[in-house]
Homo-oligomer: A and B are copies of this chain.
Amino acid sequence: MNEKEFLAAYNKGSFEAPLVTVDAVLFTYQDGQLKVLLVERSNHPEKGKWALPGGFISENEDKTLEDTVTRKLKEKTGVVPPYVEQLGTFGGACRDKRGWSVTICYTALIAHQACESKLETISDVAWLPIEKVKKMHLAFDHLKIINKAHERLIQKALYSIIPAYALPRKFTLPELQQVHEVIIGKPLQKKSFRRRIEQAELLADTGEKRTERGRPATLYSLRAGSGKYTFVRNLEQ
């Protein structure tokens, strides 16, 4: 079938288009764990199972795919996460029993504190530790998607300071190192970590300190405009 034939069938409605959704793997750091935001499905198929937050494109409200994902995340968390990046698109004939489906997935990071109030008002949404999630049986192929998002996040933790977006605006270097360690799953050398971060010149010293047992730690924030230049070495993506 060529393009002309396809479009003729499509316009007649005699062609079944794939179901298109936009989903997000939203990470945060809470209680020393890396957590993922999941939603309990209230509709068939896969009713009752945990799934990634997401939904259908709204041709009225959305101009871009990013509009869709941020709209959906705002519905669940009340805020737009500071970091959102496309992860990949998963599609196929068998991933949804209704037939061919395609989901465009995003990875996002947020400080859990930023959306605490909203989350308390919704019962079917929860932060779940990624280690626990990996043993669960999620809806569709969402576990595969989460695994891919985690793999990518590990790479980012090794070569960038993007994990900082999982923390509140002000944070200490030891805190940031903990986030990296939890993401990667193994301890990092303090000196090497700090060197890497400092060389990147992507953090701004707020001048403030935080004290709680031991020497006070300097509070840093992500430098303005570091959105696209968050990489420590001259790698990209």
A91 / chain B contacts, CB cutoff of 8 Å: 57, 64-65, 104
Is A56's CB under 8 angstroms from B235's CB?
A: no
List the 8 closest pairs (A to B, CB-CB), nearest first. Answer: A65-B91, A89-B89, A64-B92, A17-B17, A6-B56, A89-B104, A63-B93, A155-B236
Nearest residue (CB) in B for A55 is B3
Shortest A7–chain B CB gap in Å is 8
Is B237's CB under 8 angstroms from A155's CB?
A: yes
CB 8 Å contact bits of A146-173 with B (1 = contact, 0 = none) = 0000011001000100000000000000
Chain A interface size band reads 35 or more
- Cα A63 to Cα B56 in complex, Å, equals 22
Question: Can you show 10 pairs from A to B with CB atoms below 8 A apart?
Answer: A3-B42, A13-B13, A16-B59, A57-B91, A59-B100, A63-B92, A63-B93, A64-B92, A91-B104, A237-B237
CB 8 Å contact bits of A80-100 with B (1 = contact, 0 = none) = 000000101111111000011
Is A63's CB under 8 angstroms from B20's CB?
A: no
How many monomers of this protein are in the complex?
Answer: 2
A62 within 8 A of B: yes
A4 / chain B contacts, CB cutoff of 8 Å: 43
- Cα A2 to Cα B100 in complex, Å, equals 21
Shortest A230–chain B CB gap in Å is 15
A226 within 8 A of B: no
- Cα A43 to Cα B65 in complex, Å, equals 26
Is A89's CB under 8 angstroms from B65's CB?
A: yes
Partner of A65, one of B57, B92, B155: B92
A48 within 8 A of B: no
A56 / chain B contacts, CB cutoff of 8 Å: 1, 3, 6
A151 / chain B contacts, CB cutoff of 8 Å: 236
Known A-B contacts: A88-B88, A155-B237. Give 11 more (CB < 8 A): A6-B56, A17-B17, A18-B59, A20-B20, A59-B100, A63-B92, A63-B93, A63-B94, A64-B91, A65-B92, A89-B104
